[in-house]
């Protein structure tokens, strides 16, 4: 009766045959050699250069260190985000460069207030960029003037309001200078809190 430990459970007599073979001292059978060694591929006879070499004119087009991208010999790089030179163009009916006109309305000490008002009265409607900065600068000065006036009135009765008014004037002066420099360099300046007043001034104050 075969058990689960038998090597070949399909042959019931295998265990007895194995024990008998071991008792008689029969050696382990070795299979005949069939000559099936690993196949060796023939070596390729040395020929011309395996690696393609560039000719002189081709190789000269690549400037070291080469990063895999072809760069023409006459290619000139430009600075990223270079400021558009059109900002220095002359504005219609005024004759001044655009970068100066967009910076003037942000100058502190009421200079920007007067400049913004004059620009809205002189600059035509199709000069939308100049008119936007003129209206926004004028709106900023109007807002600063209103807040400074209220703090001045309250400061007559409270010293804290007087100190707050001085701080407010200093902070807004620095902010206006920063806005003027950014506008002069062609960078965007947007004061979201006065959008409604900016649009109203641009619409109502215009050349006849």
Domain map (residue ranges) of the chain: 90-204
Which residues have a Cβ under 8 Å from the Cβ of 139 and sit 6 or more positions away?
Answer: 191, 194, 197, 198, 201
Per-residue model confidence (pLDDT) at position 181: 97
Residue 90 backbone dihedrals phi, psi, to 5 degrees: -85, 135
Per-residue model confidence (pLDDT) at position 99: 95
Residue with tokens 């900065």: 133
Per-residue model confidence (pLDDT) at position 67: 56
Per-residue model confidence (pLDDT) at position 199: 96
Per-residue model confidence (pLDDT) at position 54: 54
pLDDT tens per residue across span 27-54: 666 666 666 667 777 776 666 555 555 5
Per-residue model confidence (pLDDT) at position 123: 94
CA atoms within 13 A on the CB side of 69: 3
CA distance 132 to 113: 14
Residue 97 backbone dihedrals phi, psi, to 5 degrees: -60, 150
Per-residue model confidence (pLDDT) at position 49: 55
Per-residue model confidence (pLDDT) at position 129: 95
Which residues have a Cβ under 8 Å from the Cβ of 75 and sit 6 or more positions away?
Answer: none
pLDDT beneath 50: ranges in the chain: 75, 79-83
Per-residue model confidence (pLDDT) at position 159: 83
Per-residue model confidence (pLDDT) at position 80: 45
């Amino acid at each position: 009766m075969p058990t689960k430990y038998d090597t070949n459970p399909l042959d019931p007599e295998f265990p007895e045959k194995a024990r008998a073979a071991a008792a008689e001292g029969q050696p382990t059978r070795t299979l005949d050699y069939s000559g099936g060694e690993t196949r060796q591929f023939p070596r390729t006879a040395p020929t011309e250069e395996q690696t393609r070499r560039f000719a002189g004119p081709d190789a000269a087009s690549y400037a070291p260190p080469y990063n895999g991208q072809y760069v023409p010999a006459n290619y000139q790089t430009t600075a990223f985000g270079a400021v558009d030179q059109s900002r220095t163009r002359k504005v219609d009916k005024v004759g001044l460069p655009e970068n100066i006109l967009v910076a003037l309305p942000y100058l502190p000490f009421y200079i920007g207030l007067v400049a913004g008002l004059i620009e809205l009265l002189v600059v035509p409607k199709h000069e939308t960029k100049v008119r936007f900065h003129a209206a926004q600068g004028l709106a900023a000065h109007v807002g600063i003037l209103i807040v400074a006036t209220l703090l001045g009135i309250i400061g007559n009765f409270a010293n804290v309001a007087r100190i707050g008014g001085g701080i407010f004037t200093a902070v807004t002066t620095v902010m206006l200078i920063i806005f003027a420099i950014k506008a002069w360099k062609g960078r965007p300046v947007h004061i979201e809190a006065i959008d409604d007043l900016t649009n109203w001034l641009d619409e109502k104050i215009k050349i006849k």
